[in-house]
Structure formats: C-alpha cells, structure tokens
Amino acid sequence: MLSIDTPILVRAIDDDMYGQERKLSDASLLVMAQEVITRLAYISRKANADISDVDLDAFCIALLEPRADEANRILKQARDRGASHEKLCIAYIAAAARRLGEWWEQDIIHFSDTAVAAGRILHMLRDLRMVMPPVPLRGQREAMFATVPGEQHVLGVTMATDILRSKGWHIDLHVGRSESDLCQIVHDGGYPIIGLSASGADRVRALTRTIVELRIAAPRSLIFISGNIVQIDKDIAIRTGADAAAGTMEHCLETLESLYQAVMRAAPAAP
C-alpha cells in the first residue's frame, strides 16, 4: 500500500516483467500531479483570497520536505486558530499550489518536487473534511454516481446504478456533466457518498480535476472510484486522495456498504 509520503509518480518496479499488475504510466501520473497544481492554482486566482497572515513560503517548503509532518502541523495550527474549511482550502492549500507552480516555472524546484507536494495536497483535501460538522443522514443508503467529464463509457455505471437500486440504494446517476455541474449537484444534493466512473488512463486528468473540485464543493462526502481505471492501477484511490476504489460489481457493493457504515459512524446521534 502506498503511503501519503510516496511520490505520486511512483509505480511498481518493472511493471509486468515479474507478473505484477499493470500500472498507470509515468506520463499519466505526471499529468495527474500537474492537474492538481494547475486546478488549485486556478481556484486560488479565481478566489483572490487574503493570504496576508499566511506564511505561504514556509508551507510550500514543508510540502516538499521528506516527510509531511511540518506541513500537517502548519495546517493544524491554522485550524486551531479558527481558520475555516474555506480558508484552509483556499488561503493555504490552493495558494500553495499556485506558488509551487510558479516556482516550477521559474526552475526553482523540479517537477518531481511538485509531484510529491501534489500527492500530499490531495490527501490534505480529503482529510480536511474532519473540520466540517457531520452531515445528518436522511435515513437511507444513498449516493450520487457520475462519469468523469469526457467519459464515453456509460454502460458499466448505468448497470451498477440499476443493480444497487434493486438492492435498496437510492442512487442519482449523472453522465456527461462538467466539473462545475457536478460540484453544483453535490453541493445542492448533500450526498454522503459520490462514485466516479472512469474507463482508462486517458481519463486521469479529468478524474483528478473532478476530485479536487469535489473536495472543496462537498468536503464531507466520501468519494470512491470505479471503472476500468481501477483494473489498470489498484492504487488509484490513494494516488488521487479518494476514499476507496472498486473494480468489480461485487467489490462495488462491498465498498459502498463499507462507506455507508463509515458515514453512519460519523453521523451525529439522534436527539
């Protein structure tokens, strides 16, 4: 299992030479890392947040350290001082991604450094949901399923939706939507679980971009990945900062139930 400190571009040694499962190529993983930095830099510019009280250079340097301890400490200190989820996402994480992108363009750091930082950033965005209050449940197993933007293969996710509905799940299915559409849908819908379907390595950019956007738009939602991309890289969930991944229908059922139980444990107790 990969750890939070494993560079996002790391893959299994020699791939298939020793019977190991096929992995995403280095090029795909570099695209993934680039997308994290680029998307968050865009969010930072668009938000135009006040970062006057943030030692951004120190946070960026901490993101590049051999271990993530200092970066995590900086975020925790900001949270303890009362920083909101939005401030942590925009004034710290997104602003840091923007600064790191500038450093890379100026040849101050190597792209492999930004790849390490990108992996940590994805996990930070996931873990920041702990800052948010638990979402009250509506008394049923429910989720939103969606294809990542640009995905043309919809049969698998459609079949999965039908099967889960027959087993008592309330599933809202969305195909052919943009990132902004999906963010608005999850923001309005309050889904505890979001399933994203992607067919292959050519969807890595869209998958990563969508997860980054959803982490900000729906911080309390649990995200899992399904589709053939899970067969290509079994570590796709940890690489992208998702909560789980499922490559088969049976595994999808097990994963959804496990995520639902996690949501139940985190939900506020009934009065």
When the pLDDT of each residue in the chain is averaged and rounded to a whole number, the result is: 86
**Whose CA is closest to 150, among 117, 177, 113?**
177
The DSSP secondary structure of 67-92, one letter per residue, reads: SSHHHHHHHHHHHHTT--HHHIIIII
**How many Å from the N-terminal Cα to the C-terminal Cα in the chain?**
40
d(CA 223, CA 243): 5
Q: What digits encode the pLDDT tens for the residues 199-230?
A: 988 889 999 999 999 999 999 899 999 999 99
Supply φ then ψ for residue 230, to 5 degrees: -70, -30
218 touches 194 (CB < 8 A): yes
* pLDDT above 80 for 1: no
Distant-in-sequence, close-in-space partners of 149: CB < 8 Å, separation ≥ 6: 177, 178, 179, 182, 206, 209, 210
Alpha-carbon distance of 215 to 17, in angstroms, equals: 36
Report the candidate in 70, 40, 66 with the shortest Cα–Cα distance to residue 55: 70
Rounded distance between C-alpha atoms, residue 86 and residue 29, angstroms: 27
pLDDT digits (tens, 9 = 90+) for 6-64: 444 443 323 333 334 557 777 788 888 899 999 999 999 998 888 888 999 999 999 99
Between 79 and 8, the more confident residue is 79
Q: What does the alpha-carbon distance between residue 268 and residue 271 come to, in Å, rounded to a whole number?
A: 9
Q: How many Å apart are CA 26 and CA 192, to the nearest integer?
A: 33
Of 102, 89, 98, 181, nearest to 144 by C-alpha is 181
> The pTM is what?
0.85
| Domains of the chain, CATH where assigned | 15-131 (no CATH), 142-266 (3.40.50.280)
pLDDT for res 28: 81
Enclosing H/E stretch for 100: helix 95-105
Which is more confident, 261 or 130?
A: 261
Residue 187 has what pLDDT? 85
Confidence category of residue 112, pLDDT binned at 50, 70, 90: confident
